[in-house]
A and B are shown apart, each in its own frame.
Chain A
Amino acid sequence: MSQWEIPKPQPVMSEETAPFWEGTAKGELRVQRCAACGSLQLPASAVCSSCLSSDIAWIQVSGHGAVFSFTVVHHAFHPAFASEVPYVVADIELDEGPVLTASIVDVDHAEVKIGMEVEARFRRLDEEYVLCVFIPRGSKLPEGAPGDSGTESKQTGGK
């Protein structure tokens, strides 16, 4: 990145979200699991939103899901995205249940449909954060292909 580039807005690590970002840094997609009632949830909450238990652990999930809804963003709401529009952001309903809002990358925008099956990939945002993004399931993207957006890795060891 040149020093003249405007950085993208970062996630903000919090007590609740730190394990999520530690996961993406290792190429793992994680969700919260309540030990008391078994509910799975995203985004991260301070307690289980089903039973209010504080006994929450993070578990790794498959990284497989389907598009619940999506948008093709054409207007750069932040100057850091001016060179990237148009791009796709979607609500991904994970096979395990929770919904994650994330980019769909390396896809012809006309191909993106509600219900389309996708799988997780991990792309470095900056020195601190790795984002979980999605690609169409089964697309023949080389593993670990480094792009301008940084190194990429496939979900590892998902159950």
Chain B
Amino acid sequence: MAGMSGKVSVVGVGHTAYGRLPGVSAWALQAEAVRNAVADAGLSIADVDGLFTESQFSEPLLMHGTILGRQLGMRPRFLSTQSQGGATCISLIQTAALAIDAGMCSVAAVVYGDNAKTGQPNIYGLAQMGRGQADFVAHGLLGGPAMEALAAQRYRWEYGVTDEQFGSVAVTFRRHASLTPHAQYREPMSMDDYLASRWIAEPLRLYDCAITTDGGACVLLASTERARDTAQPGVQIIGMGQAHNLDGLRDKHHYTQFAGARSSREAYAMAGIGPRDVDVAEFYDCFTSTVLVTLEDYGFVGRGEAGAFAAEGGLSLSGALPSNTSGGLLSEANVTGWGQVIEAVRQLRGSCGARQVRGASTAVCSGHGGFQATHATLVLAGADAA
């Protein structure tokens, strides 16, 4: 172990109900998530002196953290709002851990919430990338699935991935969601259901794509020393890494090898572990294809082997690498990367009931976004392992 490893812990997690929550604002969801995480830790909002936020995606705002902090009545010592797509949650957690270790705050709330399901639709979202930065919208390339489909098609072509291999990811994670009381979609999904789901943007079907959720989620961090005085079993951050492929298709590998390869290497090195030491993985499963590429990037399988690994049950609770054990973005909830970190913490606390991975002591979480551009990795360890 090296650097920051083990110095900071997750002391609280909290979220709202997930699903269709008409009439509840994004702010109300964010505030409820903070309240629940603070209660989970046995702390009060007065203890929280670091605020780390991502703006609700359906209403991207300048200075989001200042608006949320005002409503929470906070005067934090450290404030940060970030925007890196699906890597934002883990990047915020890493920034918060650095701030805590530097003594610039002691308890950090990392929060997100959006009413993307019933609130204001955000069909013009790509225009917010800036003037002239997303002109492909005029060709009808709009929305995450269509953007991702270009990468998924190339990955599929290079490695001969089948529809059923993509589908096995969706079906497996739905089975995990069915064991998760708070998950948004719990009814069983068969391979036939998957194959019958409508095309969104080939090769992606409806069930290849993340769901849309009204919900908020919060992760609370403190120094590992401080964590000993809180209510829950400590879960330490033992590895952190991030990497970003911002140069697009100037490198033609960027549709089939994401920045997760570099990001995971950094995180493993800090943690002093390798992929074989991981008991549970919580991948940023914005799309089934993203999970397959990340499995390869993280060294769990070789290049081109992820489809077969998933289809043979490798991701299931009894498989070689139990993954997205609460259903992920595909079935549990889409609160960008927060759901992944919260589930990893619960697995390491041993509080997951029917979906608990027995003896889980080391978990890895991925955050991935910006259309194959951004990536961040977190390695967590339970009290016994740390």
Query: Chain A: residues with CB nearer than 8 A to chain B?
Result: 8-14, 16-17, 41, 43-44, 49, 68-75, 77-78, 81, 84, 86-87, 89-91, 93, 99, 101-103, 114, 125, 129, 131, 133
Contact = CB atoms under 8 A, between A and B. Distances in A.
B39 interface: no
The 8 closest A-B pairs by CB, nearest first: A14-B132, A71-B149, A11-B135, A77-B143, A77-B142, A17-B132, A69-B154, A74-B199
B63 interface: no
Contacts of A89: 136, 139-141, 146, 150
B249 A99 contact: yes
Interface of B: 123-124, 127, 130-133, 135-143, 145-146, 149-151, 153-154, 157, 198-204, 247-250, 252, 255
A114 B153 contact: yes
B146 A44 contact: no
Contacts of B200: 73-75
A80 B228 CA distance: 56
12 contacts: A8-B138, A13-B132, A41-B250, A43-B133, A44-B132, A70-B153, A72-B201, A78-B123, A78-B142, A86-B199, A89-B146, A114-B154
A158 to B, nearest CB: 21
Given A49-B247, A71-B150, A114-B157, A77 B123 contact: yes
A68 B249 CA distance: 10
B326 to A, nearest CB: 27
Contacts of A17: 131-132, 135
A12 B153 contact: no
B132 to A, nearest CB: 3
Nearest to A101: B136
A81 B140 contact: yes
Contacts of B201: 71-75
Nearest to B146: A73
Contacts of B151: 69
Contacts of B250: 41, 49
A9 B124 contact: yes
A11 B141 CA distance: 12
A141 B135 CA distance: 26
Interface centre among A12, A17, A84, A87 (most CB of B within 10 A): A12
Contact of B146 (A10, A49, A71, A102): A71
Given A49-B250, A75-B145, A78-B123, A133 B132 contact: no
A52 to B, nearest CB: 13
Given A16-B132, A91-B150, A91-B249, 7 more contacts: A9-B137, A17-B135, A71-B141, A74-B198, A75-B199, A89-B140, A101-B150
